[in-house]
């Protein structure tokens, strides 16, 4: 069976998604939504550097949703517009199309999102008999699929820790890096990401999902934040930070069970490998670490590297690939909002090509 798919946006993730969709042996890319007027009418393949594929970009939502398609891959940035993105996806669902998305990340575990916020999308999916699956790499498969798989090989589980240890110096998203995350700001300032409750909103669903998979009840969720000043001026090419301003940040979203942190989501984010040397370091280059402590104790270090030699490219491709490769399973799934626990194992079917 060939699945007809529309791609929604050509940002950092969407650009890779267009390429993956166009090259996937079981998928036909039939439409592309773009935000910029100067992209309208241009060929989707030419926009992402793979040559013409005969799919023109459009910003006419009604015309796009009138297309015959099984699924929409929605990757528009939604950090500062989650309600607008949910409204977009509800409209997509009501057109009878399934959705895979990396945009509203708390929906990775739908019960984490308040009913009032998720209801428009949930009701649209149920009414139309379609499904919506949200994922990525983090939040996503690096801290839900992989740790849940490891815990299934234990006699006893004491703690589960999911870590991202990544140098963000090549993550060329100035608004995210400087405005949202706060790199380059004074250490006593509070950027959006580190405002009380924000990291729990973004990553608490991962902690809750692992708890649900283990069958445990959380007492509460706690946040821990630590900042590190840049020891020197640093020019990233798309922005600069001054010595003494925030050059690294470490935070934890802790799931408390029996009064103790038992399920922990941790991020260690640097703009240079030598910043905050006492904090956890990756094995080799940037990546993810999962530690399941118990009997036995498992430690998994996941390194990633894009074909261009950049680990951040690998993260973007890994996000897009999780969505694209999940499309057949999402189309076949029960209607509603899905989590990783609602889907089967999704191998890279058809991706080993000559």
Evaluate if residue 354 carries a pLDDT over 80.
no
Cα–Cα distance between 279 and 84 in angstroms, integer?
37
The whole-number average pLDDT for the span 152-166 is 97
Q: Which two tokens stand for residue 51?
A: 């040559």
Phi-psi region of 41 (alpha: psi -120 to 50; beta: other; left: phi over 0): left
Q: Which two tokens stand for residue 319?
A: 């996000």
Contact (CB, 8 A) for 69 and 63: no
172: confidence class by pLDDT, cuts 50, 70, 90: confident
Please tell me the predicted confidence (pLDDT) of residue 247: 98
User: What pLDDT, in 10s, does the model give residues 103-134?
Assistant: 999 999 999 999 999 999 999 999 999 999 99
Contact (CB, 8 A) for 178 and 301: no
Apex 232 CA angle, 230 and 238, nearest 5: 80
Please tell me the predicted confidence (pLDDT) of residue 95: 98
Please tell me the predicted confidence (pLDDT) of residue 122: 98
User: What pLDDT, in 10s, does the model give residues 221-265?
Assistant: 999 999 999 999 999 999 999 999 999 999 999 999 999 999 999
Q: What does DSSP say about strands 287-295 and 156-167: parallel, antiparallel, or unpaired?
A: antiparallel
The whole-number average pLDDT for the span 331-353 is 96
User: What pLDDT, in 10s, does the model give residues 175-229?
Assistant: 889 999 999 999 999 999 999 999 999 999 999 999 999 999 999 999 999 999 9
171: confidence class by pLDDT, cuts 50, 70, 90: confident
Matching residue, tokens 């919506």: 132
Please tell me the predicted confidence (pLDDT) of residue 173: 86
Using a pLDDT cut of 70, give the percent of the chain over it: 100
Evaluate if residue 285 carries a pLDDT over 90.
no
Apex 121 CA angle, 55 and 219, nearest 5: 130
Strand partners, 299: 291
The whole-number average pLDDT for the span 20-27 is 96
The whole-number average pLDDT for the span 22-42 is 96
Three-state SS for the chain is CCEEEEEECCCHHHHHHHHHHHHCCCEEEEEEECCCHHHCCCEHHHHCCCCCCCCEEECCHHHHHCCCCCEEEECCCCCCCHHHHHHHHHHHHHCCCEEEECCCHHHHCHHHCCHHHHHHHHHHHHHHCCEEEECCECCECCCCHHHHHHHCCCCEEEEEEEEEEEECCCCCCHHHHHHHCCCCCCCCCCCHHHCCCHHHHHHHHHHHHHHHHHCCCCCEEEEEEEEEECCCCEECCCCEECCCCEEEEEEEEEEEECCEEEEEEEEEEECCCCCCCCCCCCCCCCEEEEEEEEECCEEEEEECCCCCCCHHHHHHHHHHHHHHHHHHHHHHCCCEEECHHHCCCCCCCCCCCC
pTM of structure = 0.94
The whole-number average pLDDT for the span 310-323 is 95
Please tell me the predicted confidence (pLDDT) of residue 1: 82
- Count of residues making up the chain: 354
Domains along the chain with CATH numbers: 3-134+314-342 (3.40.50.720), 145-303 (3.30.360)
Q: Which two tokens stand for residue 95?
A: 């057109």
Please tell me the predicted confidence (pLDDT) of residue 269: 97
Q: 178-194: buried (b, 16+ CB within 10 Å) or exposed (e) per residue?
A: bbbbbbbbeeeeebebb
Q: What is the mean pLDDT of the chain?
A: 96
Please tell me the predicted confidence (pLDDT) of residue 327: 98
The whole-number average pLDDT for the span 42-58 is 96
Please tell me the predicted confidence (pLDDT) of residue 284: 84
Strand partners, 157: 294
The whole-number average pLDDT for the span 320-344 is 98
Contacts for 340 with CB less than 8 Å, ≥ 6 apart: 108, 135, 141, 144, 145, 148, 209
Contact (CB, 8 A) for 140 and 205: no
353: confidence class by pLDDT, cuts 50, 70, 90: confident
């Amino acid at each position: 069976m060939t699945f007809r798919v529309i791609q929604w946006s050509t940002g950092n993730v969407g650009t890779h998604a267009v390429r993956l969709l166009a090259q996937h042996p079981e998928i036909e890319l039939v439409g592309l939504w773009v935000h910029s007027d100067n992209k309208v009418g241009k060929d989707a393949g030419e926009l992402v550097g793979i040559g013409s594929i005969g799919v023109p970009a459009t910003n006419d939502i009604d015309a796009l949703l009138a297309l015959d398609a099984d699924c929409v891959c929605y990757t528009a940035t939604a950090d500062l517009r989650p309600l607008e993105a949910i409204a977009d996806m509800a409209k997509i669902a009501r057109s009878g199309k399934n959705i895979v998305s990396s945009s509203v990340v708390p929906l990775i575990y739908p019960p984490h999102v308040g009913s009032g916020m998720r209801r428009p999308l949930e009701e649209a999916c149920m009414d139309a008999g379609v499904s919506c699956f949200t994922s990525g790499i983090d939040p996503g498969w690096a801290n839900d699929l992989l740790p849940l798989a490891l815990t299934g090989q234990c006699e006893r589980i004491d703690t589960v820790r999911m870590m991202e240890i990544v140098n963000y110096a090549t993550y060329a998203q100035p608004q995210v890096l400087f405005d949202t995350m706060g790199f380059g700001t004074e250490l006593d300032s509070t950027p959006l990401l580190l405002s009380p409750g924000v990291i729990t909103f973004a990553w608490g669903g991962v902690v809750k999902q692992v708890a649900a998979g283990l069958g445990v009840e959380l007492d509460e969720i706690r946040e821990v934040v630590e900042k590190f000043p840049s020891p020197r001026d640093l020019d990233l090419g798309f922005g600069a930070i001054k010595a003494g301003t925030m050059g690294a940040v470490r935070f934890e979203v802790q799931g408390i069970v029996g009064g103790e942190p038992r399920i922990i989501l941790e991020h260690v984010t640097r703009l240079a490998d030598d910043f905050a040397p006492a904090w956890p370091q990756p094995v080799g280059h940037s990546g993810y670490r999962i530690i399941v402590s118990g009997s036995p104790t498992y430690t998994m270090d996941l390194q990633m590297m894009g074909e261009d030699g950049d680990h951040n490219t690998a993260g973007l491709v890994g996000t897009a690939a999780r969505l694209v490769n999940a499309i057949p399973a999402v189309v076949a799934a029960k209607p509603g909002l899905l989590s990783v626990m609602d889907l089967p194992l999704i191998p890279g079917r058809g991706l080993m090509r000559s």
